[in-house]
Amino acid sequence: MIVQMLYNNIPPHTVLHQYSRALFCCSNTHDIAQVKNVLFNFIPDRGIIAFRVSSPTASTYSSSSVITFSDVQLNVGDAYDVNTGKFTAPVSGLYIFTSQLCVNKGQHVYIEIAKNENALQRSIVFTSGSTYQCCNADAFDVLAQGDTVSLRTPPSAGSMTTIYRSDTILWSSFSGALLV
């Protein structure tokens, strides 16, 4: 049944659900081995692709500026370029990106996660008085090989965006990973 599903273009999540049921119900190890073989040959192994960076290289950014980070904590697959601040998809697939930027007291930050210079998600925060605040942005998207994703200030940001910068406190960060 599962083999038939794979060849009939049934969505992978349905196949995985049926596969897990088959493993639980089957007592024949030959059937289990056959299901595993077909399933894992159907879903390509593209390896792990993930990055996490922190410590913005500057405190202020004007509109349409890519926010770059100096501390690369993880860069499996070498897809994040520390010089440009851009992630380039080495393979096509579904990716997730997440960011958190914190602002100095009495300042604001306006950011977007952008794919090929087009906004996927925007976030904004204004602070007042004596508190620090952070804004987050998360985006899922299907990328083709060679697509780029960056964290930047939107073209409509207008005045300077001020980011709390610390090399020891990991408040501001940007990360991403291939999901499937």
Tens digit of pLDDT per residue, the chain (180 long)? Answer: 444 444 455 555 454 445 444 444 445 555 555 655 554 554 556 789 999 999 898 888 888 899 999 999 999 999 999 999 999 999 999 999 999 988 877 788 889 999 999 999 999 887 777 777 888 999 999 999 999 999 998 887 666 677 877 666 667 999 999 998
Sign of CA dihedral 77, 79, 82, 83: positive
Class of domain 50-178: mainly beta
SS3 156: helix
Residue 38 is predicted with a pLDDT of: 52
CB 23 within 8 A of CB 33: no
167's tokens: 């090399």
Please state the domain extents for the chain: 2-42, 50-178
Query: What does 87-137 look like in DSSP terms, one character per residue?
Result: EE-SS-EEEEEEEEEEE-TT-EEEEEEEETTEEEEEEEEE--TT--EEEEE
| 31 dihedral zone (left: phi>0; alpha: psi -120 to 50; beta) | alpha
Residue 29 is predicted with a pLDDT of: 55
Question: Which residues on neighbouring strands pair with residue 126, listed in sequence order?
Answer: 108
Residue 167 is predicted with a pLDDT of: 65
> Letter for the amino acid at 118?
N
- Compute how many other C-beta atoms are within 10 angstroms of the C-beta atom of residue 139: 19
